[in-house]
Structure 1
Amino acid sequence: MYDYAVLWEWVLIAARWTHVITAVAWIGSSFYFIALDLGLRKTESLPPLAHGEEWQVHGGGFYHITKYLVAPDFLPEHLTWFKWESYATWLSGFALLVLFYYLGAELFLIDPTVMDLEVGQAIVISLCSLALGWMVYDGLCRSPIGRHPTALMLVLFGVLVAMAWGYTQVFSGRAALLHLGAFTATIMSGNVFLTIMPNQRIVVADLKAGRRPDPKYGEIAKQRSLHNNYLTLPVIFLMLSNHYPLIFATQWNWLIASLVFLMGVTIRHWFNTRHARKGNPHWTWAATAVIFLLIAWLSTAPMRASAPEDEAALTGSAARFARAEGFQDVADIVMGRCSMCHAAEPGWDGLHWPPKNVQLETPAQIAHEARRIYLQAGISHAMPPGNLSFMEPGERAAIVRWYRSVAG
């Protein structure tokens, strides 16, 4: 029978897999429709009220697509709505936020060296920040500045930079960048749920009632869709950032996150320009490379170590693991088999930082990472990689006994 830690790990795997699947579906449809919209052509054969058409070939067949800015004179019985991809992506992403960062707040969300928060306080700040992000963004889009696309994008970039810095002053580096991604993804899903879909429903209702829909609803939806298009790549980067300490655990992590949004703009500008048949702005790739190199340079700043360094810093479950029977034996095993890599200054050739920013040089650090050690080196043989440090089966069994003596 599986123990709790293994079952919980599979819950996390299922949640993450669901999130990836739904995100791929949403991003795919979003990129496709932006490319389609930019590639539309006006021809003499267009039907009345049509804005443009596009011929495409895929899967052995040809597709003839026509776009109406308002709507045709008739509405077909079958109308496909693209919304569930967005909703499922946000819901599964929020589930991951709860499972990893709220239920594991002491390990992933809170860093006492940044701000010493209670778990409840940290969760409230997290939730309020996501709601605030949508309200600020939506307010700016509806304000007079919303009628000036370039000015609006500059102001929104300023908001994102401010949030990047703000999150790093409250949460751990890992959680800060993840939250910036969630902050942006909430705006994107809010665009679909609270703006694009309601506007489309108004248009459909007008058509069914025999009224001519106001074209402003389509224009607003197009603006929000374009924003989502430019925000997608930075969100993907931020969601992956928690796997790379050189991104989240450095002094300039907030600036790195901010520059990622600029890379998203330069990359998408090339694709959007190409789809619109307006040339090949290759300078965007040069700009992207320069920004990426700047990010890599910034990442060499000293990393902030968030793991506790002494027993006095341990609280909650970590303290229980440190007091458990067999802990000293496990600490000796881990420091002998793992600390050559998981150290502030790794001794293994080619490693300049501890993998995943996990340090295992002191008993306190080992107690803090109890669950990871159990899953990676006890239950599975993932660590040490390739068993390069020759961890014995008996040592793995000792890790399992120690962990289960506390976790059950």
Structure 2
Amino acid sequence: MDDFAVMWDWLGFAVRWLHVVTAIAWIGSSFYFIALDLGLTRRPGLPEGVHGEEWQVHGGGFYNIQKYLVAPPQLPEHLTWFKWESYATWLSGFALLAIIYYAGADLYLIDRNVLDVSAPVAILISLASIGLGWLLYDMLCKSRLGKNDTALMLVLYAILVAMSWGYTQLFTGRAAFLHLGAFTATIMTANVFLLIIPNQKIVVAELKAGRDPAPKLGAQAKQRSLHNNYLTLPVVFLMLSNHYPLAFGTKFNWVIAALIFIIGVLIRHYFNTVHARKGNPHWTWALSAILFVIIMWLSTVPAVLTGERQVSAAEERFLASTHFPAVRDTVMGRCAMCHAAEPGFAGVRAAPKDVVLDTDAAIAAHAREIYLQAGRSHAMPPGNVSAMTEEERRLLVTWFEEAR
């Protein structure tokens, strides 16, 4: 029994769960404070220094929330800092990147028809691109361009489009989308860790010392917070995209990613406008729907890669196994009616998760998934609709564990 493969798969599941939980916490608190800030109202009689207030009701209680532009006359000893949600999201996301894409670089990260490099080189490219992305972004924000929010946003969008294309020239389509999400999420978390929180700590220290903090500290933090606001929804899409091959596995996948950023901005603009009580711009939803239809159309274009994918050393071992002929017969008989280019099972129009198992190379490429889903567990076939026997499941286990 390959206990390590099972434990590693469960580790990936646990870290993914942690990543989702922390992301919900970060996005939830972020969206809440954005809505709160935009919805503040001013009225006569507010305490000195209060910019606005809002009354909210939740859980059977009423809340009166007031915002000070600088600070109250007497700064409280205890302040709640919203930062660990962001840090934990990035740390868990990076751990997941390492568990899946770095440890499984030959399968998930590298496409030798795109760029034929070794696993260590691919990982270094990955790390460098994510780190350099933040440095470039930070430099632009601190330059003269950073004083013009509109021009800065347009330049940043151009960079994101370039990265959308660039990543597809380096990695598999799945990894390209994941890295574009990591590239953007790193900028967002670095904004919190390297600028927003440090600036806020300086402001608190200045106030406690009886000095007036520099106005630029708040302006810088507000600008970075605005960027994080508009980048959130595209990042969520990119992180979920690995479940949808029609998004990442098509010829114009980089164009799809670029359009997703526009859709995310449109949706955030709608909610920001509504929360600020400045109207109800329904046109943003109409335009988003049109762009999504365009994305659907782009996904039907034939894949850019042609020819047979190169077989890795591990896949060669699976193909050379003495058990492989029997494994192939089992997969063809129990799995390929759904996992085929043209599924023959009633009600299945496309191979689930775009996993096609109708060739020897495809079976070898998906050996780990076959082992985990149909050998070590009964997840596949669903409901055992093709009546896979226990003997056949043991065969899949023996084949994988011996060849691995």
TM-score, normalised to structure 2's length?
0.96
Q: Could you list the structure 1 runs, at least 4 aligned residues long, displaced by more than 6 angstroms after superposition.
A: none
* Counterpart Cα distance in 1 of 2:238 and 2:166: 16
Following TM superposition, by how much is the alpha carbon of 1:325 offset from its aligned partner in structure 2, in angstroms? 3.0
The answer (yes or no) to whether the contact 1:314–1:364 under 8 Å persists in 2 is yes
**1:26-62 deviations in whole A, cap 9, x for unaligned?**
0000000000110111222222222111111111111
Q: Distance in 1 between matches of 2:365 and 2:297?
A: 30
The answer to whether the 8 A contact 1:108-1:174 is kept is yes
Residue in 2 that maps onto 1:247:
247
* Separation in 2, partners of 1:171, 1:207: 49
Q: 2:43 matched to 1:43?
A: yes
Work out the CA distance in 2 between the residues paired with 1:69 and 1:137: 27
Alignment-mate amino acid for residue 195 of structure 2: T
How many residue pairs end up in the alignment?
A: 404
**1:336 deviation in Å?**
2.2
Hey, what's the Cα distance between the residues in 2 that align with 1:190 and 1:349? 49
Between the aligned partners of 2:8 and 2:318, the Cα distance in structure 1 is 18
**Counterpart Cα distance in 2 of 1:12 and 1:251:** 29
The 5 A counterparts of 1:160-179 are 160-179=160-179
* Matching of residue 371 in structure 1 with residue 368 in structure 2: yes
Q: Is 1:193 matched up with 2:193? A: yes
Q: Could you say which residue in structure 2 is the equivalent of 1:385?
A: 382
Residue 395 of structure 1 aligns with which residue? 392
Matching of residue 272 in structure 1 with residue 295 in structure 2:
no
Q: Check if 1:8 corresponds to 2:8.
A: yes
| Correspondence list, 1:71-150, <5 A | 71-150=71-150
Tell me which residue corresponds to 2:58.
Answer: 58
Change (3 A) 1:398 1:85: same
Which runs of 5 or more structure 2 residues have no equivalent in the other structure?
Answer: none
Q: What fraction of aligned residue pairs are identical, expressed as a percent? A: 65
Q: What is the identity, as a one-letter code, of the residue corresponding to 2:119?
A: V
Separation in 2 of the partners of 1:57 and 1:218? 29
Residue in 1 that maps onto 2:184? 184
Structure-2 residue corresponding to 1:335: 332
Asked whether the 8 Å contact 2:311–2:361 carries over to 1, the reply is yes
Residue in 2 that maps onto 1:258? 258
RMSD after superposition: 1.7
Contact residue 377 and residue 383 of structure 1 kept, 8 A? yes
8 Å CA contact 1:266, 1:285 repeated in 2? yes
> What is the CA-CA distance between 1:388 and the residue it aligns to?
2.7
Q: Letter of the 1:150 partner, please give it.
A: T
Report how far residue 350 of structure 1 moved: 5.1
Q: Shift of residue 142 of structure 1?
A: 1.1
Corresponding residue of 1:206: 206
Aligned-pair CA distance for 1:399:
0.5
Q: What TM-score comes out, normalization by structure 1 length? A: 0.95
2:398 aligned with 1:405, yes or no? no
Question: Is the Cα–Cα contact under 8 Å of residues 325 and 405 in structure 1 kept in the other structure?
Answer: no
CA contact (8 A) 2:49 2:72 kept: yes
Deviations 1:135-182 (A, max 9, x none): 111111111121111111111111110000000011000000010000
Partner SS, residue 5 of structure 2? helix
Q: In 1, are the aligned partners of 2:2 and 2:401 still within 8 Å (CA)?
A: no
Closer/same/farther in 2, CA of residues 265 and 165 from structure 1, 3 Å limit = same
Q: Which amino acid in structure 1 is aligned with residue 392 of structure 2?
A: E
Q: Distance in 2 between matches of 1:56 and 1:306?
A: 57
**Measured at CA, do residues 306 and 351 of structure 1 come closer, stay the same or move farther in structure 2, by a change above 3 Å?**
farther
Structure 1: runs of 5+ lacking an equivalent = none
1:330–1:398 CA contact under 8 A, matched in 2? yes
Q: State the match for 2:219 in structure 1.
A: 219
Q: Quick check: 2:25–2:85 contact (8 Å CA) kept in 1?
A: yes
Q: Distance in 1 between matches of 2:85 and 2:225?
A: 14
Question: Which letter maps to 2:299?
Answer: S
